[in-house]
Amino acid sequence: MSLLVVGAILLSIILGYKTRINIGLFAIAFAYLIGSFALGLSPNDIIKMWPLKIFFIIFSVSLFYSFAIINGTLEKLAEHLMYRCRHFPHLLPYAIYITTTIISALGAGYYTVLAFMAPITLLLCQRTGMSMVIGSMSVGYGALTGANFMSSQSGIIFRGIMANAGVTENQAFINSIGIFLSTAAIPLIVITALVFFTKHRSTIAKGGYQADLPTAFNKEQRQTLTLTLIMMGLVLLAPISHLLFPDNQTITFINSKMDIGLIASVFSVIALLLKLGDERKAIASVPWSTLIMICGVGMLISVAIKAGTINDLASWIGTSIPAVLVPVAFGIVAAFMSLFASTLGVVTPALFPIVPSIAQSLSLDPMMLFICIVVGAQATAISPFSSGGSLILGACPTEESRTKLFPQLLFRAAPLGFAAALIFNLLITFVL
């Protein structure tokens, strides 16, 4: 039965990749067929496996942050941040990374940020002569890092999957801080190596980079940015205060009433009342395909849990791999999965549920395992076969540049990211 479920997960990924049909739809179909006809579950039991809480949180948060997208707030913010780098053209990769990270952390999400930052970045590469590999890695890393922020899309998804795996919400928040800090450190090291230990600086000096002064934020954009910062403050202040003052009853009470999905819903209503964007466009901007993929795979993972697959896999890892190498092994497996599959939709929903039992049986720190999985998965997210890499390829201004960038992403960017992630995972496993 466990082999059947694992085969269904792999087949969902392969079929999704080959047919370009959402992996989540295949996962839902397999969850029904295996759950009802092999495990004897009722259709109602299968439907209840839809991860409603994760769905609601992603929907609510994405709906609120979509106002910043449709009224141009994020694009305007990107223009202003990039303009600040005009006197230091060789530091442009840092500007791209920091700009993309800030915008992604403000809640736009990985795919949305790449959708409008990748074309800007590749255009800058064309104008300045900067390597497309450096530009692609800077924008890709930035979108990933910002999205991993505790109140942004990926950070929220990670916390939700951890909670479903039995991790307390408080510990899930702490784990998400570790993931964010780790995925922020690696890109800075890689970008520094690319900026100062390659021909990047001399190439940029010959390019004559110039940036025009962007127009000021309009009233709606200023209000949107203010609302976004207020919501981020509310979402982060309560859990952080609770971590600092766990015995304070008032803070404990307030923290128990905080829910990012419900808070985002309130702020969406405020944004609509202030007329910061069209309701229909905001709803259309919700990443429905990502939602279907995450929730569909979540249903199939729930079937795997019912079938005992997760326990079998955890038992196999616990007895077949030396305990000290388990975190590194998780990172390597996640990296290879991410070459062809989504970190959010496939890799973390498949691997996170194994972590608690593995950590308990081998006396490992669960946070270290969660970090190694995400670091490994995001190391190869720039692969042209992965969703992130394909978005960057799609942003190329010409077919010639797209043809040139494809092998560079596959044979330079992805291996470089993998090497950096492997070294990082080895360090936190054996040194920290």
> In the structure encoding, which two tokens stand for residue 386, read together?
């992965």
Evaluate whether residue 281 is within a structural domain.
yes
Radius of gyration of the chain, Cα coordinates, nearest whole angstrom: 22
- DSSP letter at 363 equals T
Q: What is the mean pLDDT of residues 414-419?
A: 92
Number of domains forming the structure of the chain: 1
pLDDT (tens digit per residue) in 53-81: 888 988 998 899 889 888 988 888 888 87
Does residue 178 form part of some domain?
A: yes
Is the residue at 154 inside a domain?
A: yes
pLDDT band at 276 (very low <50, low <70, confident <90, very high): very high
Contact 279, 270 (CB under 8 A): no
Long-range contact list for 43-49, CB < 8 A, 24+ apart? 46/299, 46/303, 49/298, 49/299, 49/302, 49/303
78 located within any domain: yes
DSSP 3-state of 211: coil
Is the residue at 304 inside a domain? no
Q: Is the pLDDT of residue 86 over 80?
A: no
Q: And the tokens for 396?
A: 């190329």
**Given pLDDT bands bounded at 50, 70 and 90, which one contains residue 210?**
low
Q: Percent of the chain having pLDDT more than 70? A: 98
Question: What integer pLDDT is reported at residue 417 of this predicted model?
Answer: 92
Question: Residue 333 falls within a domain, yes or no?
Answer: no
Q: Is the per-residue pLDDT at 41 higher than 70?
A: yes
Residue 204 has pLDDT above 80, yes or no: no
For 266-279, what is the mean pLDDT? 95
The answer as to whether 427 is a domain residue is: no
Average pLDDT over residues 214-222: 92
- Indicate the DSSP class of residue 20: -
pLDDT at 414 over 80: yes
Q: Give pLDDT, residue 83.
A: 81
Report the alpha-carbon distance of residue 78 to residue 81 in Å, rounded: 5
Alpha helix stretches (DSSP H) within 308-413: 309-320, 326-338, 348-351, 355-362, 366-379, 387-394, 399-408
**Inter-residue long-range contacts of 170-176, CB under 8 Å, 24+ positions, other chains counted:** 170/239, 170/242, 170/243, 171/366, 173/239, 173/243, 174/243, 174/367, 175/366, 175/367, 175/370, 175/371, 176/148, 176/150
pLDDT of residue 208: 62
Contact call for residues 5 and 27 (beta carbons, < 8 A): no
Mean pLDDT, to the nearest integer, of 1-25?
87
In a domain, 44, yes or no: no
Short-list 329, 298, 91, 52, CA closest to 188: 91
Q: Which domain holds residue 53?
A: 49-286
The whole-chain average pLDDT of the chain stands at 88
**For the whole model, what pTM was predicted?**
0.83
Q: Between the CA atoms of 23, 122, 184 and 339, what dihedral angle is there, to the nearest 10 degrees? A: 30
Residue 141 pLDDT greater than 90, yes or no? yes
